[in-house]
Structure 1
Amino acid sequence: MKYKILALITPLVFALDQLTKALIRADLDLGERVSVIGGYLDIVHFTNYGAAFGILSNLKDSIRTPFFYGVSVLAVVIIFVMFAKLKRSSVYLPVVFSLILGGIFGNLTDRIRFGEVTDFISVHIRDAAVSLPIIGLVRLEWPAFNIADSAITIAVILILIGAIFFKEERS
């Protein structure tokens, strides 16, 4: 069962991620924003050289690129080792690992092809903003993300739920 889950979810997440990013790159100019749910959800075309929230995006390419390649490969190896140790009948953790792998492969593909990751989902609270000392006016908007990021986030949430409520499947 675990291999069927891996064979289904990982390529599905990867394909959805790459398809949506290709549509965004083809149809929206960089920085362009289209409202989907007025005041709350926009489709945007942003790029991110770093990790979540742009972390490490200001590093030199010569450091940042090999770092993200290395972290991605290491994460994939660790997940495959952990996956191999799971019971064949296991469902919960194979779903979690498959979501993470699909997300890793999606964002890694962007990094390899374009040197950056395409982000396009923007969640915000209308035009709300807060004035911060020194920084000035800051819009209350979650950093843009993509399908790969969403899959990894869902997996992390599932891990947290599992750690709290389901202790029997730990292998």
Structure 2
Amino acid sequence: MKLSRNVGIILLIIFNITIDQISKVLVRANFEYLEIKELIGKKFIMQYVDNKGAFLGMGSDMNDTLRIVFLLILPTLVLGYLIYYILVNKTLDKLSTIALSCIAGGGIANVFDRIAFGKVTDFFFINLGGIFKTGIFNVADMSVTFGMIVLIYTWFISSRKKQIK
């Protein structure tokens, strides 16, 4: 039995939200705040932190009104439109649809944290030395990043096909 396109999109968004929220529940239940656990030496660690801001803590020093506008209301409106766009735009190729669904799911998961807890739970950190060192991030951030990489790839492939014609 083949799922309808819209059901598949909704399920992918829900899957991204669910995986993220399960990971955050497990971290909050099994870590003390700021506790560090090495997974692969000091290269890949987990550390439970709370982030009141957005990406890499940006906006965490904003006053409460600005934080509500820029980290709750605006993202909610953008995510609502993104979901509408994905569902209505039948011309999107499969990879773009998957990418946008992952972005929506990750975004919703982090907005949910901000609504439910007033902050986002982060816990992954990668340090491969030199310039490849991340901030502390979570599964929702990975969903958004994966979606962005796939989206850029599909746009690049699409523009290459147009140049060839």
Question: TM-score normalized by structure 2?
Answer: 0.86
RMSD: 2.1
1:146 alignment counterpart: 138
Gaps of 5+ in 1: 131-139
Q: 2:109 matched to 1:106?
A: yes
Higher percent of residues as helix:
2
- Aligned mates of 1:88, 1:62 — CA distance in 2: 39
Indicate the structure with greater strand content. 1
1:17 partner amino acid: D
- Superposition deviation, residue 113 in structure 1: 1.0
* 3-state secondary structure, aligned to 1:166: helix
Name the amino acid aligned to 2:125: S
Instruction: Tell me the alpha carbon deviations over residues 130-162 of structure 1, each in whole angstroms, 9 at most, x when there is no partner.
Output: 9xxxxxxxxx74111001010001111111111
| Structure 2 residue ranges without an equivalent (≥5) | none
Distance in 1 between residues matched to 2:28 and 2:56, nearest whole Å:
20
Q: How many residues align?
A: 157
Q: Distance in 2 between matches of 1:88 and 1:4?
A: 17
Partner AA of 2:144 in structure 1: I
Q: Which residue of 2 aligns with 1:15?
A: 18
Query: Which one-letter code corresponds to 1:155 in the other structure?
Result: G
What is the one-letter code of the residue matched to 2:87?
Answer: A
Report the residue type matching 1:4 in the other structure.
V
Match of 1:87 in 2: 90
Identity %: 25
Using the size of structure 1 for normalisation, the TM-score is: 0.83
Structure 2 CA distance for partners of 1:89 and 1:51, relative to 1, 3 Å: closer
Describe the SS at the equivalent of 1:125. coil
Query: How many angstroms does 1:39 deviate by?
Result: 2.1
Question: Deviation of residue 118 (structure 1)?
Answer: 0.3
